[in-house]
Structures are given as structure tokens and as C-alpha cells.
Amino acid sequence: MVTRRAQDRQWLRDQQLVAYQELFSHYAKFTMELRRAHGDQRGWDYDWGEWSAALMRVSLIAPAEVATEIDGFGRAINEFLDQVARGRDPLNDPLSPEDFEQARQAPAEAQVKLVNAIRRSLSSDQKVLPFGIGG
């Protein structure tokens, strides 16, 4: 019985890590695609269905504290997309690199909060990161 519980916890942890990695991978990919589109004054495309699916998958297995931060991260991403994707045409009205970075600040801050919530959920020994990496 004890072994089974430990196996279940390990399986859940493994699934969480895969889902978290997938979520951040999508975030990095579409952020870079948008950055390049504005920098090169070109069109862009992204499979938003995969982003949405990644959010759904992670919400199925994330603890409540992490799910709350995922929601905040998703909201920040939505505002970012309003500024750089829905509200601006990179072909005719591209953002400067400085304006792009300004628009990316809220998602970057939400990313740090989410990463720290994930770290706390995986181990109480994890220290809080005061900065974001990637994205």
C-alpha cells in the first residue's frame, strides 16, 4: 500500500514536470516568433490550439497554488498578445525592441511567480528565484 502511494506520487510528479515543460516551451516559442516578426517586419503564425491544450493539460494535474499562478500567467499572456499580436501588425506597425520588452514585462513577472510556485510544489527545499530565465 505504501509503495503504491509512493509510485502514484512519483507518477504525478513526472506528469507535472512534463506538463510544466510543455507550457514553458510553448511560451518561449510563441514569444520568440512574435519578437522576430516585429523585428523583421514580417508575418507570423502559431498553433494557438497547442497553447490552449498545454494550459488544459497542466490545469489537470497542477496543485491549487500552481493552478492559481497558471491562471495569472495566462491572463498576463493574454494582455501581452493584445499588445503585440492582436493590436499591432508587425508588417506595417512593428513594435520597437524596447516597446516589445515593455509589453513582455507582465508575462515575465507572472512567469517568475509561476516558476516559484512550481518549485515550491515540487520540493520545500527549493529556493525562490528572484528573476526569470528564458521566455
Q: Does 109 have pLDDT greater than 80?
A: yes
pTM here?
Answer: 0.88
Closest CA to 13 of 125, 108, 128, 119: 119
The cell 515543460 sits on which residue? Answer: 21
DSSP class of residue 83?
I
Q: Are 36 and 64 in contact (CB under 8 A)?
A: no
Determine what percent of the chain is predicted with pLDDT higher than 70. Answer: 98
Q: What is the mean predicted confidence (pLDDT) over 42-69? A: 93
Q: Which grid cell is 65?
A: 497554488
Cβ neighbourhood burial of 20 (10 Å; 0-12, 13-18, 19+): buried
User: In the structure, what pLDDT confidence band is assigned to residue 135 with cuts at 50, 70 and 90?
Assistant: low
Helix pair 105-122, 64-81: axis angle to 10 deg: 160
Q: Does 96 have pLDDT greater than 70?
A: yes
Q: Does 131 have pLDDT greater than 80?
A: no
How many Å apart are CA 57 and CA 54, to the nearest integer?
5
pLDDT at position 128, please?
A: 82
Query: Which positions ≥6 away from 76 have C-beta within 8 Å?
Result: 106, 107, 109, 110
CB atoms within 10 A of CB 131: 7
